[in-house]
Amino acid sequence: GGGDVLLNEEPTVDGVRRIAAAHRRFGTTGLLPTLITDHPDKLRQLAAIADEALAVPGVLGFHLEGPHLNLARKGIHPPQFIRPMTEEDRVLLMGFASHGRSLITLAPELCPGEVIQGLARVGLRVSAGHTEAAAGQITAAVDRGLTCVTHLFNAMSQMTAREPGVVGAAMADDRLFAGIIPDGICVSPMNLRTAFRAIGRNRLMIITDAMPTAGGKRSFFHLQGRKITLWDGRLTDEGGTLAGAHLTMNEAVRNAMAMMGASLEDALAMATSTPARFLGLDEEMGRILPQRRADLVAIDAGLGVHGTWIGGMA
């Protein structure tokens, strides 16, 4: 979300428009509005308005994070809505292949390989997240079309001496992209540096994982009946569980330099050309070249944003 709007609460064209407008002020020219685990009706509502919402400047597709996740790594996702994928779910997800460049986050250890393969074949990006998968299960899923890891380190199996887990697989497999939240809260600065050194600018993507407080005026919001409060840069429910991030893209780039040790060029690549390549849009956007779309951001030396153009339009 963003601009005091949570997509789960407002799966409407106006809701998408307000989220995109909020992030545009901070240098985002392209985004995937994200629906997290919820009642099946919410996904149907989003599907119904998806084509119209794609006309909103900056909207490239949608990110469906859940509900086919591992309960052991649920994070803030409501357990009552986490479930195995049914045939109806699969058909509904497949439909998002016609709604821009959409992304599905699931737990691959709980999803048959042929389903992952089918989702990837129609053009969806399939990513591992909220997962307990072993490294071998990730490799098998990559063989079937999985191409990404959602918010590296968060809500996934970690690297140990004899089991690399999702984290180790992301670092070792050159076929995988990985999104990471560079706020110093969701992921420690040391782990940010480790990921950057192990994966590099060509596969690592900095993401905001932003919630409604980003670009908004309020210091709280409600997520499926739970109050989420912003305090000292951290978004948590009453039990202390992290709930996304309070982060904008220009801050993410700034943090990538300060916390990862990335150069400005590396940080910008992880925010622009690498995500464009992951989405299969690198022939259209992500770099300033002839025949590319004029998605441009004017920034100062401190990464303050002074202007944003999408398709050449301010």
Instruction: Pick the catalytic residue from 38, 209, 266, 295.
Output: 209
Taking alpha carbons only, the member of 17, 61, 21, 25 closest to residue 297 is 25
Alpha helices for 200-281 (secondary structure H)? 249-255, 264-271, 273-278
Residues 159 and 171: their CA atoms lie apart, in Å, by: 10
Residues 107 and 104: their CA atoms lie apart, in Å, by: 10
- Whether 209 is catalytic is yes
CA torsion, ordered 225, 61, 41, 145, to nearest 10 deg: -100
Residues 19 and 6: their CA atoms lie apart, in Å, by: 8
Q: Is 311 left (phi over 0), alpha (psi -120 to 50) or beta?
A: left
The β-bridge partners of 126 are: 104, 146
The answer to whether residues 268 and 3 touch, using CB atoms and an 8 Å cutoff, is no
Buried b (16+ CB within 10 A) or exposed e, 179-207: bbbbbbbbbebebbebbbeebebebbbbb
Q: CA quadruple 67, 70, 76, 79: dihedral positive or negative?
A: positive
Tokens representing 178 are: 């990985």
Alpha helices for 149-256 (secondary structure H)? 165-172, 189-199, 249-255
Residues with catalytic function = 209
